[in-house]
């Protein structure tokens, strides 16, 4: 086998390991990833699996990076064609709900599960997860600010608060689908995001808006 074919085969094997790792982690958590389980599932030796990453931690980092690629493909890219600001925010939320409703990861959103698994820890995996959430929050914040500038959201809208509440809707949706198997939860999530991203009835403060000063 030529060096080029050897490298291509090694890359394909590495991708298979990562894909299986992402699926397993969504079901059993990143700590549930064991070299033995992956080797059995993929018909490989333990040394063959470990040889592609060196350490379990490196495998976990690779799994989270792949999960971010999947999330970007499923949630952000479908919304990019929408006009910046409120139209894109609405498109992002619709894609986000669809991503959770369709069980893109077999155990639900991997980012939701690892948040609870790693929120009190330190180290490279924790740092990567934190950075991934930060980058996503920055994207949402930029679109909220564009929507405010365009007059599509109230001038008093607090972007950080609105991002916080959108996260809450999506985490609740993931929880309700995965724990209760309640597929009607997607409709409730749509109503919640419509309320958060639309003007409230007269006299009702919009979620995310700063309170009026007396």
pLDDT digits (tens, 9 = 90+) for 116-138: 888 888 899 999 999 999 999 99
The average pLDDT across 27-46 equals 89
Q: List 209's β-bridge partners, or say none.
A: 157
Indicate which CATH number applies to the domain containing 136.
1.10.357.10
pLDDT digits (tens, 9 = 90+) for 2-35: 555 577 888 899 999 999 999 999 988 898 888 8
Asked if the structure places residue 138 within a domain, the reply is yes
Asked if the structure places residue 139 within a domain, the reply is yes
Asked if the structure places residue 205 within a domain, the reply is no
Mean pLDDT in the chain? 88
Asked if the structure places residue 17 within a domain, the reply is yes
Asked if the structure places residue 206 within a domain, the reply is no
Name the residue among 101, 100, 89 with its Cα closest to residue 193: 89
For residue 114, give its domain range.
3-197
Looking at residue 83, what is its pLDDT?
96
Cα dihedral: 32, 33, 34, 39 (round 10): 140
Least confident of 44-48, 69-73, 81-85, 92-96: 44-48
Q: How many distinct structural domains can be found in the chain?
A: 1
Asked if the structure places residue 86 within a domain, the reply is yes
CB 79 within 8 A of CB 47: no
Instruction: Note the pTM of the prediction, 2 decimals.
Output: 0.84
Asked if the structure places residue 168 within a domain, the reply is yes
């Amino acid at each position: 086998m030529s060096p080029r074919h050897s490298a291509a085969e090694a890359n394909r094997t590495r991708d298979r390991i990562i894909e299986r790792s992402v699926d397993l982690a969504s079901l059993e958590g990143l700590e549930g990833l064991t070299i033995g389980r992956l080797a059995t599932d993929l018909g490989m030796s333990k040394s063959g699996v470990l040889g592609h990453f060196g350490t379990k931690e490196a495998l976990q980092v690779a799994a989270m990076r792949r999960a971010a690629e999947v999330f970007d493909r499923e949630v952000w890219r479908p919304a990019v064609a929408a006009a910046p600001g409120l139209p894109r925010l609405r498109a992002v939320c619709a894609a986000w709900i669809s991503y959770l409703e369709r069980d893109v990861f077999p155990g639900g959103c991997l980012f939701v599960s690892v948040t609870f698994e790693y929120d009190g820890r330190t180290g490279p995996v924790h740092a990567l997860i934190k950075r991934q959430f930060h980058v996503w929050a920055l994207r949402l914040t930029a679109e909220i600010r564009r929507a405010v500038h365009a007059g599509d959201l109230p001038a008093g809208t607090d972007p950080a608060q609105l991002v916080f509440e959108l996260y809450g809707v999506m985490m609740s949706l993931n929880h309700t689908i995965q724990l209760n198997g309640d597929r009607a939860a997607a409709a409730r999530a749509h109503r919640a995001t419509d309320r958060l991203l639309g003007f409230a009835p007269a006299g009702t403060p919009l979620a995310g808006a700063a309170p009026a000063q007396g």
